[in-house]
């Protein structure tokens, strides 16, 4: 009986120490460098030029991209982006379109795609929960061909609430959203043969 109390007491102390250790990791602002890497094989050239405009960042806090929570689920710190979020989104779209065989230009062209960043945020508790929300518009000579909002999610197990963990979850979320964006652009332009130039 005495031995059993000792084991229960040691387990209780262990659980308390683990809780304190994990909650200690929950303090301090994280600075995440948002990166993007295209996957898959390059598509053959499509002979279509697309201008990709700058994305407008419509979020209230332009640097805030996440929150750190302690063992009890309370938000204890922020995650801020080291780089410009709207530029990160734009460059990722440029990379995806280039991979798809489009000629991408920053100069005006008859076909233009752009949009707004509505949400880029990764919350965490036991897992990273990244979310990206974009409003994307495709125009040809000023006429709207596509106007749609896209959402993407990404995540994984949260072992230590690291900056890299947040950045990875957000990259996955952006990749998911851009997959749908590029699929819709491909479909829309396939239905618009006069867009070729």
- Kindly report the number of other CB atoms within 10 A of residue 37's CB atom: 8
**The predicted structure's pLDDT at residue 29:** 81
Strands 111-124 vs 103-105: parallel, antiparallel or unpaired? unpaired
**Least confident interval from 8-17, 58-67, 93-102, 163-172:** 8-17
Between 187 and 127, the higher pLDDT residue: 187
Mean pLDDT of the chain: 86
Between 157 and 121, the higher pLDDT residue: 121
Q: Which CATH architecture has domain 2-195?
A: 3-Layer(aba) Sandwich (3.40)
Whole-Å CA distances, 134 to 85, 120, 122, 176, 195? 12, 9, 15, 11, 24
Domain boundaries in the chain? 2-195
Q: Do residues 32 and 162 make contact, with C-beta atoms less than 8 angstroms apart? A: no
Strands (DSSP E) contained in 34-188 are 49-57, 64-69, 75-81, 103-105, 111-124, 127-140, 143-157
**The predicted structure's pLDDT at residue 1:** 56
124 pLDDT band (50/70/90 cuts)?
A: confident
**The predicted structure's pLDDT at residue 2:** 60
Between 63 and 19, the higher pLDDT residue: 63
Q: What integer is the mean pLDDT of 146-151?
A: 98
What percentage of residues in the chain have a pLDDT greater than 90? 66
For the record, the structure tokens of 151 come out as: 């959402």
Beta bridge mates, 75: 69
| pLDDT reading at 140 higher than 90 | yes
**The predicted structure's pLDDT at residue 24:** 38
Q: Mapping DSSP to helix (H, G, I), strand (E, B) and coil, where does residue 131 land?
A: strand
159 pLDDT band (50/70/90 cuts)?
A: confident
DSSP string, 12-31: HHHHHHHHHHHHHTT-S-EE
Beta bridge mates, 104: 50
Between 22 and 130, the higher pLDDT residue: 130
Between 162 and 88, the higher pLDDT residue: 88
CA distance 111 to 75: 44
* Model confidence pLDDT, tens digit, residues 17-61: 333 333 335 557 889 999 999 988 999 999 999 999 999 999 999
């Amino acid at each position: 009986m005495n031995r059993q109390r000792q084991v229960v007491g040691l387990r209780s102390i262990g659980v308390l120490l683990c809780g304190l250790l994990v909650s200690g990791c929950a303090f301090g602002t994280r600075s995440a460098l948002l990166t993007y890497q295209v996957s898959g094989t390059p598509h053959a050239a499509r002979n279509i030029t697309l201008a990709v405009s700058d994305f407008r960042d419509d979020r209230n806090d332009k640097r805030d991209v996440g929150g750190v929570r302690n063992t009890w689920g309370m938000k204890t710190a922020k995650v801020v982006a080291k780089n410009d979020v709207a530029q990160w989104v734009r460059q990722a779209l440029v990379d995806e379109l280039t991979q798809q065989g489009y000629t991408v230009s920053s100069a005006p062209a008859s076909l233009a795609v752009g949009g707004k960043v509505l949400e880029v945020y990764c919350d965490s508790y036991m897992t990273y929960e990244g979310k990206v929300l974009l409003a994307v518009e495709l125009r040809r000579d000023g006429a709207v061909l596509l106007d749609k909002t896209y959402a993407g999610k990404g995540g994984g197990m949260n072992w230590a609430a690291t900056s890299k963990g947040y950045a990875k979850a957000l990259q996955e979320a952006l990749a998911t959203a851009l997959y749908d964006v590029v699929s819709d652009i491909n479909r829309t332009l396939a239905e618009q043969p006069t867009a070729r130039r």
